[in-house]
């Protein structure tokens, strides 16, 4: 460069400017991915599915109508790109993760509710990397830790199974409380009440509030951020009241749970947990904001794993109720491996390919987060000749991917055999819902998915080993299919409350369960 004259420098500058000009001019000429025709000014505002509509199914139908697995909506200057196949999601959110790994700034969730404290909602950057690194230090990907396995097994044996045995009609709430308790215990080391624990209630309220706010298009303030300045008393600004309450709940969740854990550590009464290990083994001098990182990371456990596990368990119970022949086949396998004098353990999983296939099909048939957690692009991109602008909201339509007829023929049919070879072993040549799509893509894939899968397997095997899960009875004493619908009110698509009958398989099964709780305290 030192030998270049002024003329040479001027020429180089002109070449660079010309390159940039034609590059951006070319981008300007490129089309967006296909989608509904936008209206002047408001774009596709009226095309966004309403809250009462299952938007992910609408997006899947659009793929057929436009013959494309990538779609585009433009809403008041914002761009929404919908990915309806695993291939396109892997290529963009996986292979191009440097551009597709951030999160959209949802004003309601991130600002008004302070939901950016959740790692899942953080933009891609140093703060997010510090928290993910902290989590993976203790819970490596693809390797459920010993503490996670033992804590899940304990809560299922000592909390969930006894409560279902004693009051089977309340099985839905028992599942929620036991999973919530196990998750909070793993994260904070706190002992929870066996009944109506306030920490579990706080965590549930937090999760419901934030997942509702995370639905793209749910609140108009996400589309028009300036609305955040409108006072609560102005007509039509009711969202401000929702935001205020949401912020209170979120801050209480992070701050109070962490403070309680630290107090128990100081008192010497804490159980081993993520918080206790992280505080003990990390140096604040090397990471000045260590306590903030630990506090925020601890929130991942419940936000990222609890509700997804709960919904997966509910779906398993529902599908076993509706398909008694599949339930019985899975039970025979469990009996062969476990027998009748002990509880199933996570280590049994390798010997139960049929139950493993059943659980994969549960997750595929009813995706827990059907529209995925939205991503956001941090730079302009070109894909298949389409222009995807910087700041685009990227929706990975998990439901469409796991109901793709080209991968899963007759996708609405619940059929675990689709994951098995002719000799009853798990297939390796088919998309696995447990490792692809269900828990996200690329750098933003859920870091704790193995904890959720561990708990789901132990619970499912235990239900089959100890109970018959039967259809409810009508007024005439006849078995009927349970009535259920999927609400879609939040980002997580859980079934509405439904009925079934948990009947102990034998007196020996009931005695095995009761033996676990004879010497338990009121807290676990």
Torsion-angle region of residue 195: left (phi > 0), alpha (psi -120 to 50) or beta?
beta
Please answer whether residues 217 and 108 qualify as being in contact, where contact means their C-beta atoms are separated by less than 8 angstroms.
Answer: no
**Dihedral angle sign, alpha carbons of residues 103, 105, 110, 116:** positive
Q: Is 446 annotated as a binding residue?
A: yes
DSSP codes joined into one string, 229-296? GS-TTSTT-THHHHHHHHHHHHHHHHHHHHHHHHHHHHHT-PPS-HHHHHHHH--TTTSTTHHHHHHH
Q: Look at strands 70-75 and 78-83 and give their pairing.
A: antiparallel
User: 78 - beta bridge partners?
Assistant: 75
R_g of the chain computed on alpha carbons? 25
Token pair listed for 494: 């859980």
Tokens coding 434: 């447990």
Scored b (16 or more CB within 10 A) or e, 416-435 reads bebbbeeeeeebeeebebbe
**What is the Cα–Cα distance from 258 to 130, expressed in whole angstroms?**
18
For residue 53, what is the DSSP state?
S
Taking the C-alpha atoms of residue 455 and residue 250, their distance in angstroms, rounded to an integer, is: 25
Distances (CA, A) of 322 to 310, 316, 318, 357, 433: 19, 10, 6, 17, 21
- Which residue from 336, 411, 327 is spatially nearest to 370, judged by alpha carbons? 411
Binding site feature residues: 446
Binding site feature residues for heme: 446
């Amino acid at each position: 460069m030192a030998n270049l004259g002024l003329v040479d420098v001027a020429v180089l500058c002109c070449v660079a400017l010309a390159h940039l000009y034609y590059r951006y001019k070319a981008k300007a000429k490129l089309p967006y991915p296909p989608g509904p025709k936008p209206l002047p000014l408001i774009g596709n505002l009226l095309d966004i599915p309403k809250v009462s509509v299952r938007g992910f199914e609408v997006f899947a139908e659009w793929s057929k109508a436009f013959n494309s697995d990538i779609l585009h909506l433009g809403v008041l200057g914002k761009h929404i790109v919908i990915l309806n196949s695993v291939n396109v999601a892997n290529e963009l959110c996986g292979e191009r993760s440097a551009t597709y790994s951030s999160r959209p700034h949802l004003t309601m969730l991130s600002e008004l509710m302070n939901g950016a404290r959740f790692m899942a909602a953080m933009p891609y950057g140093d703060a997010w990397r510090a928290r993910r690194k902290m989590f993976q230090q203790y819970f490596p990907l693809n390797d459920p830790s010993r503490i996670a396995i033992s804590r899940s097994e304990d809560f299922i044996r000592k909390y969930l199974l006894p409560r279902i045995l004693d009051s089977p009609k309340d099985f839905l709430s028992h599942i929620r409380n036991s999973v919530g308790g196990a998750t909070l215990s793993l994260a904070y080391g706190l002992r929870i009440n066996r009944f109506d624990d306030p920490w579990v209630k706080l965590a549930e309220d937090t999760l419901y509030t934030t997942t509702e706010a995370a639905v793209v298009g749910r609140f108009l303030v996400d589309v028009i951020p300036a609305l955040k300045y409108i006072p609560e008393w102005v007509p039509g600004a009711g969202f401000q009241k929702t935001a205020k309450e949401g912020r209170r709940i979120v801050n209480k969740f992070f701050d109070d749970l962490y403070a309680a854990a630290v107090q128990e550590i100081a008192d010497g009464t804490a159980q081993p947990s993520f918080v206790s290990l992280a505080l003990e083994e990390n140096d604040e001098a090397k990471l000045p904001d260590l306590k903030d990182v630990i506090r925020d990371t601890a929130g991942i456990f419940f936000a990222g794993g609890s509700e997804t596990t709960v919904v997966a368990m509910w779906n398993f119970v529902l599908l076993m109720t509706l398909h008694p022949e599949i339930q019985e086949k899975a039970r025979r396998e469990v009996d062969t491996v476990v027998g009748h004098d002990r509880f199933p353990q996570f280590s049994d999983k390798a010997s139960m390919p049929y139950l493993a296939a059943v659980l994969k099909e549960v997750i595929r048939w009813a995706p827990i987060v059907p529209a995925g957690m939205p991503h956001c692009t941090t730079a302009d991109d070109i894909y298949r000749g389409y222009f995807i602008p910087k700041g685009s909201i990227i929706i990975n339509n998990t439901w469409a991917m796991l109901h793709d007829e080209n991968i899963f023929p007759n996708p609405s049919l619940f059929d675990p055999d689709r994951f098995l070879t002719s000799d009853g072993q798990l297939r390796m040549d088919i998309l696995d819902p447990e490792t692809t799509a269900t828990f996200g893509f690329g750098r933003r894939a859920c870091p704790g998915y193995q904890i959720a899968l561990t708990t789901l397997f132990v619970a499912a095997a235990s239900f089959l080993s100890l109970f018959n899960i039967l259809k409810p009875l009508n007024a005439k004493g006849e078995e009927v299919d349970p009535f259920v619908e999927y609400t879609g009110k939040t980002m997580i698509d859980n079934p509405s409350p439904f009925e079934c009958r948990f009947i102990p398989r034998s007196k020996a099964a009931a005695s095995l369960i009761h033996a676990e709780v004879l010497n338990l305290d009121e807290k676990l």
